[in-house]
Structure 1
Amino acid sequence: MLPPDVERELDRAVRRWRQLPLDRAADALPEVHDFLAEVAGEELPDLGPAVVMDQLRVVVFDSCRGEGGGAGLADRLASLRLHWSG
């Protein structure tokens, strides 16, 4: 179970990603991968824009189950999402 604020921001991020045109998603993909690597603590494979939100869900879930319980993750997800809107 995710903390409510993290779950809310994760859902918002996924919804926003699905609304992006493919070229904007492709442009934002490196930033998402950097975020994933930072949260996961390791580099993850680039599976493309169609799958990256699945990766995000898994990494966020794992982070919330680990030490710290995802502290500050909701704000970080919101910031990431807002970069796509810019």
Structure 2
Amino acid sequence: MGSPTPHEVSDELRRVVERWHQLPLDHALSRMPSVRALVQTLADRVAGSRGVDAQPVPELGPAVVMDQLAVMVLDLFRAEPDADPSDVADELAGIRRCL
């Protein structure tokens, strides 16, 4: 069984992760709040879809935040198979542009 994440979202996520890994540490640290906000938004959305209370995503630093983002994107499309991929891809593209 393949990934539930649509290709356009997977492609944009890959671009974000690649860009993130090119950033100097100080630049990555300055962009952490915007990335973490998206991770938390996705986590809250997944929690709502599952009918559970939203919980804060732990802050584990710049080395881990892209993994957290990837997991939340995957979880979103597992929890909401009918989620609009263009909305998620646009959110990811916005993050990439601010990097």
> Which residue among 65, 75, 85 is the counterpart of 1:52?
65
Q: Which runs of 5+ in 1 are unaligned?
A: none
More displaced 10-residue stretch of structure 1: 65-74 or 36-45: 65-74
Q: Which runs of 5+ in 2 are unaligned?
A: 45-53
Give 1 or 2 for the bigger CA radius of gyration: 2
Residue 17 of structure 1 contacts residue 25 of structure 1 at CA under 8 Å; is this kept in 2? yes
Deviations 1:28-55 (A, max 9, x none): 0011111111111042010000011110
Matches within 5 A, 1:12-23: 12-23=15-26
How far residue 68 of structure 1 moved from its aligned partner, in angstroms, is 5.1
1:47 aligns to what SS in structure 2?
coil
| Identity over aligned pairs, percent | 45
1:74 aligns with 2:89: yes
Q: What's the counterpart of residue 29 of structure 2?
A: 26
Coordinate RMSD, CA, aligned: 1.1
Q: Normalising by structure 2, what TM-score?
A: 0.80
Q: Normalising by structure 1, what TM-score?
A: 0.91
Q: What CA distance in whole angstroms lies between the structure 2 residues aligned with 1:69 and 1:50?
A: 31
Residue 39 of structure 1 contacts residue 63 of structure 1 at CA under 8 Å; is this kept in 2? yes
1:56 maps to a residue whose letter is L
Deviations 1:1-59 (A, max 9, x none): 11010000000000000000000000000111111111110420100000111101100
Number of aligned residues = 84
